[in-house]
Amino acid sequence: MGPVLAGVLQLLALIGALALAYIPLGNYMARVYSSDKHLRVETWIYKGIGADPNTEMRWPAYLRGVLAFSAVGVFFLYLLQRIQGILPGSLGFSSVNPAQSFNTAVSFVTNTNWQSYYGEQTMGHVVQTAGLAVQNFVSAAVGIAVAVALVRGFARSRTGELGNFWADLVRGTIRILVPLSVVAAVVLVACGAVQNFSGIHEVGQFMGGHQQWNGGAVASQEAIKEIGTNGGGYFNANSAHPFENPTPFTNLFEIFLLLVIPFALTRTFGVMVGSIKQGYAILATMATIWVGFVALMMWTEFAHHGSALQIAGGAMEGKEQRIGVGASSIFAVSTTLTSTGAVDSFHSSFTGLGGGITILGMQLGEIAPGGTGSGLYGMLIMAVIAVFIAGLMVGRTPEYLGKKIGTREMKLAACYILITPALVLIFAAASMALPTPPHSMLNSGAHGFSEVLYAFTSAANNNGSAFAGLNANTDWFNTMTGLAMLLGRFLPMVFVLALAGSLAEQKPVPVTAGTLRTEKPLFTGLLVGAILIITGLTYFPALALGPLAEGLAS
Amino acid sequence: MNNSVSNTARLLWAALRALLVLTLVTGVIYPLAVTGVAQALFNNKANGSEIKADGKVVGSSLIGQQGYSLDYFQGRPANGLGTNSVNTQYKLILSGATNLSADSKVLVKQVEDAKAAVVKNNSTADYKVKPSQVPADAVTSSGSGLDPDISPSYAELQVHRVAERNHLSVSQVEKLVKDHTDGRTLGFIGEPTVNVLELNIALKSLVTKS
């Protein structure tokens, strides 16, 4: 069997596994967020928080919950890194400096997991497990909570109530993320991922001498890192490191984990708005883009254009032998079309066009299928835009899922889609214009610019992967990517929740012969087109200077 | 005004308590429970898959090593492997890739040099390696710099050299490589591999025996 066929079969196996999980997981998540019963452990937690989980919140209150919880998260994680030097179980690692602590704290709270530090020589056991991994869970749960609030906005009428933030946060963590992670972590250990709390480990080598590595709670963190679409590696090499991703099977399993919740949430959406077909239409949009991108990536990576790759005879630079070109291509597309940012191969050494596909994937807004929660709400915003465009064509007030898309709704949706491109382009342009920041570039020419464009695309879209040659551990990049991550995460959430509130107050519009049928393939086609055109027009000039220039030259 | 300040304070206090409770669940109980299961059921794997030769630990089967002499099989280049610069009290391995672009002049030189070395080192008196025979994994650095594996074709390319230097027959060494070649998982997942450390341990014991 050739590597291309093996790559295609792995893609098909992945699709099969995702399809099997789709209905049970999607239905289960719908029950989790619709049930009025509390588990005993949850009632203890609510007592600990001092919150009544049965109080309904309007959108400002829900938003205040999100912001307060995230602000406290940033502060706590910052503090934990700053005092690492005196914490027990820190392997003798010193405290992290202020700029890097700020960047890392923001990065994990915003579900980005951009890392300007080297995992294995910076973070001890306490910061990794009780700091970073905790945010892997709760930032994912916050993302799902906001998505569920928007879904309730579509599903409810003549109320402004969107649910209870604390209940959604706790349920997402306790009933969805923790159980899935326990199972996944044990599978990973069984395949060879490490899981211990021993200190720095020194072993002999075959030719004599010694090597040192640090163990840690790697498998448990790896599991939630993928399931929560976080992506922050325990080690610098992330999922390319054999201790994080030991076998070809774990590699495919990790791709499955990072896709399963974002895809299944479309089922949850369908169930909660009372029309499973609407969920399928959104799923079809996501799947079309994802499969299309994987096909393009495999094509360019197997063709291995680029002078060094041509001499080598294959695009194996930055890729692991056990994983190979095919599965690395699937991973790279999946991690950048979700907000994960974990890598099993290094995107900077991909072909020029392959690197461009990873950047474009993030620039679509990470909605195919996107991050846990953030993918669904991002896609629903695009659906609102698409029905608006369709409404303009026929001269009719647009509506989606029985709700009118009026001036207020469109303003909020438009603000949402403008924020991220503005952040990406302004920060990238400023970095190129100033004298010092370009010194961080490893490569020169078009690829050097791509490194900077990638950095801010990744930060503002909360992805976390990188063209990792860029030295991001400078005051400029630590601060500016930190700001891009904060604004790129929370400003969109403000508009999503405001939109949810305004939709929930409406009374439903009856379906008539003139209603655009948003559950039909025609709408899926319209939505895919709208996404590609809007993103294409926004980013084309920047892409032409970076990856397109590089890809076309080779 | 006072009211809104006290409301904000109450909200932040609730948020802090929520964070602490969830830290207890996801940051303490969860990793400890997984560690307990891992240590009980998969002790060797959870601690790094250490591998022994002659009763001594010689590394991990998952972590590739540098510096094999030409008597042994060579692993992949690791030009992205870093040195520890932050915490110098340890000599930790710092995993990483080169991150050089596909058309980088530096990378072109690395690949050309590696290819020339592979051709030169593996050509023996009666076996000449052609540059076109050298597989991509032999001249490129992996993502982690710690790739424990090489492709079967790179292993086969090294058979004549290894046989000559260890005074073994080519067929003996070919058999050794074949025995240490793992196909794709279930026939289609990943790529075929040869674990370099395990192969070299087996080679050493074969040499000692004969």
Whether B108 and A220 lie within 8 Å, measured CB to CB: no
Of residues B103, B135, B141, nearest to A306 (C-beta): B103
Nearest-Cα residue of chain B relative to residue A51: B14
Q: What six digits make up the tokens of A388?
A: 């608006």
Q: pLDDT over 90 for what percent of chain B?
A: 88
- How crowded is residue A274: how many other Cβ atoms within 10 Å of its Cβ? 11
Query: Average pLDDT, stretch A429-458?
Result: 96
Token reading at A316: 């194996």
Count of alpha carbons within 13 angstroms of residue A276, beta-carbon side: 6
pLDDT of residue A201: 87
On whether any CB of chain A is under 8 Å from the CB of B191, the answer is yes
Of A76, A251, A314, the CB nearest to B19: A76
A118 → closest Cβ in B19, B94, B135: B94
Q: Which two tokens stand for residue B58?
A: 């010689």
Taking only the tens place, the pLDDT of each residue in A381-410 is 999 999 999 999 888 889 999 999 999 999
HEC assignment per residue over A43-68: HHHHHHHCCCCCCCCEHHHHHHHHHH
User: What are the distances in angstroms from CA A407 to CA A384, A502, A505?
Assistant: 12, 11, 15
pLDDT of residue A211 exceeding 60, the answer is: yes
Q: Do A442 and B45 touch (CB under 8 A)?
A: no
pLDDT-based confidence at residue A315 (cuts at 50, 70, 90) = very high
Distances (CA, A) of A114 to A236, A493, A513: 11, 20, 48
The encoded tokens of residue B152 equal: 């079967």
**Shortest distance, CA B197 to any CA of chain A (angstroms):** 8
Say which residue the tokens 């899926």 belong to.
A524
Structural contact between residues A109 and A135, judged by C-beta atoms closer than 8 angstroms? yes
Contact B27 A308 (CB under 8 A): no
| A72 in contact with B, Cβ within 8 Å | yes
Question: Which amino acid is located at B64 in the chain?
Answer: G
Beta strands in A341-402 (DSSP E): 399-400
How close, in Å, is residue B113 to chain A by CA atoms?
A: 11
Which of B103, B110, B132, B195 to mutate to test binding with chain A, by most A CBs within 10 Å of its CB? B103
Closest CA to A460 of A440, A486, A425, A484: A484
Interchain CB distance below 8 Å, A308 and B12: no
Residues of chain A in contact with residue B116, where contact means CB-CB under 8 angstroms, are: none
Three-state SS for A456-470 is: HHHHHCCCCCCCCCC
Count CB neighbours of B127 within 10 A: 14
Q: Which of B99, B132, B182, B195 is the best substitution to test chain A (most A C-beta atoms within 10 A)? A: B99
CB A467 within 8 A of CB A348: yes
Of A219, A345, A469, the CB nearest to B38: A219
Cis ω on the peptide bond leading into residue A179 (within 30° of 0)?
Answer: no
Q: Which class for A439: exposed (0-12), middle (13-18), buried (19 or more C-beta within 10 A)?
A: exposed
- pTM comes to 0.97
CB distance B151 to A323 below 8 Å: no
Q: Is A199 on the interface with B (CB under 8 A)?
A: no
Question: Which residues does chain B have with pLDDT short of 50?
Answer: none
Kindly report, residue by residue over A16-53, the tens digit of the pLDDT: 999 999 999 999 999 999 999 999 999 999 999 999 99
- Is residue B85 within 8 angstroms of chain A, CB to CB? yes
- Which of A514 and A533 is assigned the larger pLDDT? A533
A201 touches B: beta carbon within 8 Å: yes
Q: Crossing angle for the helix pair A374-394 and A475-505, nearest 10 degrees? A: 60
Main-chain dihedrals φ then ψ at residue A77, nearest 5 degrees: -70, -35
**DSSP sequence for A504-532:** HHSPPPPP-TTS--TTSHHHHHHHHHHHH
CA distances in angstroms from B169 to A103, B82, B161, B165, listed in the order given: 58, 38, 11, 10
Predicted confidence (pLDDT) per residue in A478-519, tens digit: 999 999 999 999 999 999 999 999 999 999 999 888 889 999
**pLDDT 10s digits, A136-169:** 999 999 999 999 999 999 999 999 999 999 999 9
Q: Can you give the pLDDT at residue A247?
A: 98
- What pLDDT, on the 0 to 100 scale, is given for residue B1? 53
Residues B135 and A313: beta-carbon distance below 8 Å: yes
pLDDT surpassing 90 at residue A90: no
| A63 — pLDDT class (breaks 50, 70, 90) | very high
The percent of residues above 70 in pLDDT, for chain A, comes to: 100
Tell me what the pLDDT averaged over chain A comes to.
96
Q: C-alpha distances in angstroms, A292 versus A257, A296, A330, B188?
A: 20, 6, 11, 21
Which sign does the torsion angle of CA A312, A314, A317, A319 carry?
A: negative
Q: What is the mean pLDDT of residues A533-549?
A: 94
How far apart CA B120 and CA B118 sit, in angstroms, is: 6
Residue A68 contacts B, CB cutoff 8 Å: yes
Which residues 333-362 of A have a C-beta within 8 angstroms of B?
A: 343-346, 348-352, 355
User: From CA A94, how far away is CA B149, in angstroms rounded?
Assistant: 34
Determine the distance in angstroms separating the CA of A352 from the nearest CA of chain B, rounded to an integer. 7
| Number of CB pairs, chain A paired with chain B, less than 8 A apart | 396
Q: How far is CA B205 from the centre of its chain?
A: 22
For residues A390 and A516, the answer to whether their CB atoms sit within 8 Å is yes
Distance from CA of B167 to the nearest CA of A (A): 20
Tokens 């509506």, located at residue: A399
Name residue A214's beta-bridge partners.
A200
CA angle A36, A41, A44 (to 5 degrees): 95
Alpha-carbon span B93 to B146, nearest angstrom: 9
Let me know if B187 is exposed, middle or buried by CB neighbors in 10 A (0-12, 13-18, 19+): exposed
**Residue B153 burial (CB count, 10 A):** 15
How far off is chain B from A439, nearest CA to CA, in Å?
16
The SS3 of residue A210 is: strand
CA distance B2 to chain A (A): 18
pLDDT value for A249 = 98
Provide the chain B residues 94-153 that lie in CB contact (below 8 A) with chain A.
Answer: 94-104, 107-108, 110-112, 115, 132, 134-137, 139-151
For B65, which of A94, A206, A314 is closest by C-beta distance? A206
The fraction of chain A above a pLDDT of 90, given in percent, is 93
pLDDT value, residue A513: 86
- Which residue of chain B has the CA closest to A208? B58
Strand duo B50-53 + B149-150: pairing: unpaired
Segment A237-283, tens digit of pLDDT: 999 999 999 999 999 999 999 999 999 999 999 999 999 999 999 99
pLDDT digits (tens, 9 = 90+) for A161-191: 999 999 999 999 999 999 999 999 999 999 9
d(CA B153, CA B178): 11
In angstroms, the separation between the Cα of residue A18 and the nearest Cα of chain B is 16
Tokens of A347: 């995107």
Q: Is B165 on the interface with A (CB under 8 A)?
A: no
